[in-house]
Amino acid sequence: MPAAATDRRVRRTRELLRRALVELILEKGYDRITVQDIIDRADVGRSTFYAHYTDKDDLLLSGLEELAATFEEHMERHFASRAEPNPVLAAFQHADRQRDLYKALAGKRGAEVMRAGLRRRIREVMMRRMPEFLPHRDGAVPVEVTMEFLLSSLLGLLVWWLDNDVPYTAEEMADMYMRLIVPGVKAVHGI
Amino acid sequence: MPAAATDRRVRRTRELLRRALVELILEKGYDRITVQDIIDRADVGRSTFYAHYTDKDDLLLSGLEELAATFEEHMERHFASRAEPNPVLAAFQHADRQRDLYKALAGKRGAEVMRAGLRRRIREVMMRRMPEFLPHRDGAVPVEVTMEFLLSSLLGLLVWWLDNDVPYTAEEMADMYMRLIVPGVKAVHGI
Amino acid sequence: MPAAATDRRVRRTRELLRRALVELILEKGYDRITVQDIIDRADVGRSTFYAHYTDKDDLLLSGLEELAATFEEHMERHFASRAEPNPVLAAFQHADRQRDLYKALAGKRGAEVMRAGLRRRIREVMMRRMPEFLPHRDGAVPVEVTMEFLLSSLLGLLVWWLDNDVPYTAEEMADMYMRLIVPGVKAVHGI
Amino acid sequence: MPAAATDRRVRRTRELLRRALVELILEKGYDRITVQDIIDRADVGRSTFYAHYTDKDDLLLSGLEELAATFEEHMERHFASRAEPNPVLAAFQHADRQRDLYKALAGKRGAEVMRAGLRRRIREVMMRRMPEFLPHRDGAVPVEVTMEFLLSSLLGLLVWWLDNDVPYTAEEMADMYMRLIVPGVKAVHGI
DNA sequence: TCCTAAGCGAGACGGTACGTCTTGTCTTCCA
DNA sequence: TGGAAGACAAGACGTACCGTCTCGCTTAGGA
């Protein structure tokens, strides 16, 4: 079996479908898209679509994996090249450089299921890193509360910034976010 | 015209439909509900449903109006009876006393469209009140950024608290939220 | 109980409904008419309609009774005033003088149920009169066959004449019909 | 494109639908049948029905085309095999051999729209053939009147014979019909 | 003159069928 | 042998009518 060639074709088809989905989301919003729209745009047969993805949602979420992969790379470069690396800044920068993709996936034209997946992933990362910075203290706010707080405010600002094309740079957004959260977190966790 | 009797019947039917929707959301989530489910539960004819609401969404959003109305009342009582009234606390309390309704409308089984509506409403209230407390200053974070920050973190914590039945009281939640945001807002806006 | 006045009102309402139906049939055909159309045109409440008739069909068929009644009168006058009375001619004349009513009830914009009722009624009259003129003979066509033949051809010509506003007089139509059927009937029944 | 296989499937589906309709008409009459009844009986999806026919009426009328096609064949065989071919006899024979189909389509359980279509088709055939046999003469009955007369009486007798399962053979019916009409037509058109 | 019963309008309602739309499965052919 | 074409079953959608119903208003005899 010519495995290499097959792989190439499979990859191509998947790419066509993903691209079509992103375009269509930006044009009319995830909810108004039908599978028919996608396969027409990708110029692919109906059965082909279902051979690769179980769902419209499945196709969408496959985009999340892709995004996460490129974000990892971006993070590594960021940490390698900076004296004071800041993951929040890295996130805003990454989003800025792939605005359309981010808007399609996380923005208001995107799908709730996508935002939920994004949230879960970031939460997982946070759960690994946070306890180290925010040791539990008597009388302090529980770590999980602080984490939901940080998560919601970060995602809220990020999506708002993207959706409305707010004219601040990634650096400005990250800076403002930090200035808003740091004092409270310090006060509450006594660091 | 027999307006009074007709009004009474109309009100009753709408109430049946709203109640049925809330029950069903809590049972299986908004997205999996069909109009047929709703009218079966409410024991109402299909055409009757469409005589009152254009949509499943329309019915859902009518619940938001209702909620907003009862919240107004709650707020007034709260401000009348307290030495140091706190709108955030009032919100957590109101949600606590109508947990099921709030979970159905704003929770993860509810609909995105509902959360968006809720967000818009709260934003409007904030837009009227905030500028007074957060006067614009050179070098400060723009008010709109602070507002999105406060909005996202408040809604994020509220929905997380409801959805997961996190065992803190409304008072504790409001207190933790305030402790997390106040220092940052003070620092940034110099008050 | 104020019976007289009540009767008057009832009669008026029924008349309004019948008139509305006939008008609407001529305008857009029986099948495309809804009960709502009728009561709007008659300016009558929905429940009033159903208080008087069970159905659109019921209202329609009530017109048949009315028609039959006026036809009876017409026949009597016809027989009283003519040396050689001819029921076929009487029928064409009666239809001619109430063209609109006939067209609405029996024509192509009318209803099948109406034509069937008309056919049944005429058949009943024929069944009482025919055997006298067409005594059963060996080898002859059975009376019932002849009767269906006469019935179909009479109604067919009558409706065709009305629906297409064919420019022959009632007298001419009756005459042609007679000239077409008499020789055959005479030959077959040996009279 | 897999045209052959698709064609086969399409034909099969249409056949299933037609068969289901005929069965249902004979069971409960055209008017009482719903599209749901038809697709349940044919074991076909709702959308499939509407992919092939716009309507219940459309499906019904497609049966007329089918009938006309088989009638053409029957006529040719009849004319080829007989010394004195008679179209009227051919019609009665054809109906006799497909009694159920004819009863469903043209009978009293069928639809008015079907009978109207049948009438129109036969009229068209007659219009091509009649003038040749019935040349216009002064004082004679106009050809169109004679034609409506022949059409109504033929269809009337045919449908009556089918609907009531009248125990005469096709030959007897054709013979009686001819004996009833020929003398009149001869007398009137002087042939 | 008031009372009261019937006829009536208005229109909400439960129910049923419609024709449309989308989904995910399947079969068949083609490259 | 994988992908394209597209027929198909399933079932929800929003619309259109139907026949039932409840409610007050009007009206004209009989008290």
pLDDT, one tens digit per residue, over A32-64 is 999 999 999 999 999 999 999 999 999 999 999
Tens-digit pLDDT profile for chain D (191 aa)? 456 677 788 899 999 999 999 999 999 999 999 999 999 999 999 999 999 999 999 999 999 998 999 999 999 999 999 888 999 999 999 999 999 999 999 999 999 999 999 999 999 988 888 877 787 777 789 999 999 999 999 999 999 999 999 999 999 999 999 999 999 999 998 87
Residue with smallest Cα–C1' gap to F3: A48
For residue C102, the one-letter residue type is: Y
CA distance C38 to C16: 9
- pLDDT, average across residues B35-63: 97
User: Between D153, D179, D186, which is nearest C153 by CB?
Assistant: D153
Q: Given a contact as 3+ CB pairs under 8 Å, which chains touch C?
A: D
* Nearest residue of C to residue D112, measured between CA atoms: C112
pLDDT at A4 over 90: no
pLDDT at B2 over 60: no
Instruction: Give the pLDDT score at D136.
Output: 74
* Nearest residue of B to residue A116, measured between CA atoms: B108
Tell me the pLDDT tens digit for each residue of B87-108. Answer: 999 999 999 999 999 999 999 9
- Name the 3-class secondary structure at D104: helix
Q: Do the Cβ atoms of D152 and C156 come closer than 8 Å?
A: yes
Q: Do the Cβ atoms of D84 and D63 come closer than 8 Å?
A: no
CA distance C187 to D8: 55
Q: Do the Cβ atoms of A180 and B146 come closer than 8 Å?
A: yes
Q: What angle do CA A71, A72, A73 make, to 5 degrees?
A: 90
Quick one: what percent of chain C has pLDDT higher than 90?
81
Contact C184 D188 (CB under 8 A): no
A86: which residues sit within 8 A by CB, 6+ positions away?
A: A174, A178
Angstrom distance, C1 CA to F30 C1': 8
Instruction: Give the pLDDT score at A82.
Output: 86
Contact C157 D151 (CB under 8 A): no
| Residue A1 banded pLDDT, cuts 50, 70, 90 | very low
| Closest to D109 (Cα-Cα) out of D19, D33, D28, D36 | D28
Contact B186 A183 (CB under 8 A): yes
Spell out which residues of chain B touch residue A160, defining contact as CB-CB under 8 Å.
Answer: 148, 152
CA distance D25 to D60: 10
Q: Burial code of D32-68, b = ≥16 C-beta within 10 A, e = fewer?
A: ebeeebbbebbebeeebbeeebeebeebbbbbbeebe
Spell out which residues of chain D touch residue C152, defining contact as CB-CB under 8 Å.
Answer: 152-153, 155-157, 160
Instruction: Give the pLDDT score at A125.
Output: 87
Instruction: Give the pLDDT score at D92.
Output: 97
pLDDT at C128 over 90: no
Spell out which residues of chain C touch residue D149, defining contact as CB-CB under 8 Å.
Answer: 153, 156-157, 177, 180
Query: For tokens 């709203």, what's the residue?
Result: B18
| Residue B1 banded pLDDT, cuts 50, 70, 90 | very low
pTM score, two decimals? 0.90
Query: For tokens 């079509």, what's the residue?
Result: A20
Spell out which residues of chain C touch residue D120, defining contact as CB-CB under 8 Å.
Answer: none
Query: For tokens 């969408």, what's the residue?
Result: A60
| Closest to C31 (Cα-Cα) out of C146, C117, C111 | C111
pLDDT at C1 over 50: no
Query: For tokens 């707010």, what's the residue?
Result: A166
Instruction: Give the pLDDT score at A5.
Output: 64
* Nearest residue of B to residue A173, measured between CA atoms: B145
Contact D141 C186 (CB under 8 A): no
Q: Do the Cβ atoms of D13 and D48 come closer than 8 Å?
A: yes
Give the bases of strand F that a protein CB approaches within 7 Å. 1-25, 27-30
Q: Which residue has the higher pLDDT, B5 or D117?
A: D117
Probe site for chain D from C145, C162, C182 (most D CB atoms < 10 A): C145
Tell me the pLDDT tens digit for each residue of A142-190. Answer: 999 999 999 999 999 999 999 999 999 999 999 999 999 999 999 998 8
User: Between C151, C155, C182, which is nearest D184 by CB?
Assistant: C182
Q: Going by beta carbons, is chain D in contact with chain B, meaning 3 or more pairs sit under 8 Å apart?
A: no
| Residue C4 banded pLDDT, cuts 50, 70, 90 | low
Residue B23: Cβ within 10 Å count? 17
Give the bases of strand E that a protein CB approaches within 7 Å. 5-30
Would you list which residues of chain B are within 8 Å, Cβ to Cβ, of chain A? 108, 112, 116, 141, 145-146, 148-149, 151-153, 155-157, 160, 168, 176-177, 179-188
Instruction: Give the pLDDT score at D191.
Output: 75
